[in-house]
Amino acid sequence: MSPEEFRQAGYQAIDWVADYMARLGDLPVKSSVEPGDVRAMLPAEAPALGEDFADVLADLDRVILPGITHWQAPGFFAYFSANASGPSALADLVSSGLGAQGMMWDTGPAVTELEQHVLDWLAVEMDLPEKFRGNGVIQDSASSSTLCAILAARHRAGGIDALPNLVAYASEHAHSSVEKGLRVAGIPADRLRSIATTPDYAMRADHLAYEIVKDKNDGLTPFFVAATVGTTATTGIDPLTEVAWVASNFDAWTHVDAAFAGTAALCPEMRFLNAGLETADSYVFNPHKWLLTNFDCSAFYVADRASLTEALSITPEYLRNPVSEAGTVVDYRDWQVPLGRRFRALKLWFVIRHYGVEGLRAHIRRHVAWARELTEWVEADHRFELAAPTVVSLVCFRHKDGNKATSRILEAVNQSGRAYLTSTTLGGQIILRVAIGSPQTERHHIEDLWNLIQSAA
Ligand code: PLP
């Protein structure tokens, strides 16, 4: 494809995406294809000869769109949002066009330095502790960030030789990525202690202390504590100050997973989310969840970068270069599992410059305000009860008549095509989760959802 052909095809592709964005509100939110439907529309063999780009684009409508659940639809309230935006999509396009590799400063100075810079911008605007500034890196996901935190903690605790004795801790509501990261790092599930929570689904620091002391007395090495700011089920907030205090008393690493909720700390009135963070060793939040930045973009900060880079750095001859050897630059290949890395910082740069920090704050504040309103509507309806406090923009509730009634509502909402919800189970009770965070959602979409829920109740 010559540059001129790219230009022409590019116009068509951008037109297609812009049209898609414009009609998102009219599409059924959840795909209703059956397993195998999409593959059945694809030719069995790859084309031997190249095809016209227009034909490929036409197949987006025919083959792909029916099999898409529209995460950017205004009626998408399932899971947690996965924000996309125009500036972010354009940055991804530029990144792909550049095709630059940022594995080391030397292979892409701008890739590295822009990443350091925008992560510092965010650290300042979110009022993250001073120690995280200059120590940020973009990972593909919160799961990878947590894995890196585990690998750094394992290194600090003695590395692979210490493996047989290592024990980790997380609340019973921590994300499954903690267990997965431990498994990858060689620490089996029976070495992950599940810590009990309060009625608000926050980790009980006294139970954590009890488990750690018990393990210490048994000759084991507590090495890693995962605290969550915004659990997946209910956005429960672990008490970071107490948790990190207990962990640090036993030389265990405290990692804070704020994948979804962390973004809200951009707003000064939500800074309670950062309380106690100054005692943590590492922190992750996902701009790709709530900061108008397309997947993948996970911001990971580490206080002691040496533990991370010593755990992950291997330097074969072919990667040696004078600037790295002089030690004056950051080589992000040592901050992650893969060697290669693309130019993700462009997304944050485009997004922050397009919306401005105040624009990003407004994006979050709208969702938080609507979540509070919805919470009040739930409280005012005698048929429903809240299942957890509304901390940021996730509202959790159930029908008082029980699981059957709650499931009936879930089904009715999802079958309507106008909205999409997912549920969770707490203490045997099915709970509806309304996760507000889609860029195109307006207040009337929340009203529409509430009407749907009420008429199915
Ligand atoms: N941690 C929490 C608290 C989450 O809610 C999620 C996903 O929703 C994750 C981690 C995993 O995020 P990722 O897909 O970026 O690995």
- Ligand 1 centroid, distance to 320 Cα (angstroms): 35
Query: Where do runs of H (alpha helix) occur along 186-283?
Result: 205-217, 240-249
Q: Which residue among 138, 143, 393 has the greatest number of ligand 1 atoms within 8 angstroms of its CB, and so is best to mutate?
A: 143
Judge if the upstream peptide bond of residue 296 is cis by omega within 30 degrees of 0. yes
Four-residue CA torsion sign, 119, 124, 128, 129: positive
What is 74-110 written as a DSSP string?
Answer: TTB-SSS-----HHHHHHHHHHHHHT---SSGGG-HH
Pocket of ligand 1 (CB under 6 A): 80, 141-143, 175, 177, 228, 230-232, 257, 259-260, 286, 298
pLDDT digits (tens, 9 = 90+) for 23-39: 999 999 999 999 999 99
Q: What is the CA radius of gyration of the chain?
A: 23
Q: Using CA atoms, how far apart are residues 135 and 119, in angstroms rounded to an integer? A: 8
Pocket test for ligand 1, best of 81, 260, 273 (most atoms within 8 A of CB): 260
Cα(299)–Cα(289) distance, integer angstroms: 11
Rounded to the nearest whole angstrom, what is the distance from the C-alpha of residue 10 to the centroid of ligand 1? 33
Expressed in angstroms and rounded, the spacing between residue 5 Cα and the centre of ligand 1 is 39
Ligand 1 atom closest to the CA of 79, numbered from 1: 8
Ligand 1 geometric centre to CA of 380 (Å): 32
Tens of pLDDT, residues 54-80 = 999 999 999 999 999 999 999 999 999
Instruction: With CA atoms as reference, report the closest residue to 298 among 83, 68, 138.
Output: 138
CA distance 331 to 113: 10
Percent of the chain with pLDDT over 70: 100
Instruction: Report the alpha-carbon distance of residue 279 to residue 275 in Å, rounded.
Output: 9
**Separation of alpha carbons 79 and 100, rounded Å:** 33
Task: Report the residue among 173, 228, 232 best suited for mutation to probe ligand 1: largest number of ligand atoms under 8 A from its CB.
Answer: 232
Q: Per the structure block, which two tokens stand in for 170?
A: 């997380």
Helix, strand, coil share (%) of the chain residues, nearest 5: 55, 15, 35
Which DSSP category does 253 fall into? E
> Mean pLDDT in each 10-residue stretch from start to end of the chain (457 residues)?
97 97 96 96 97 96 96 97 96 98 97 98 98 97 98 97 96 98 97 97 97 97 98 97 93 97 98 95 98 98 96 95 95 97 98 98 98 98 97 98 97 96 96 97 98 95
Give the predicted TM-score (pTM) of the model. 0.96
Nearest to 280 by CA among 305, 312, 303, 314: 303
Angle in degrees, CA 36, 40, 46, rounded to 5? 120
Residues pairing with 423 in the sheet:
432
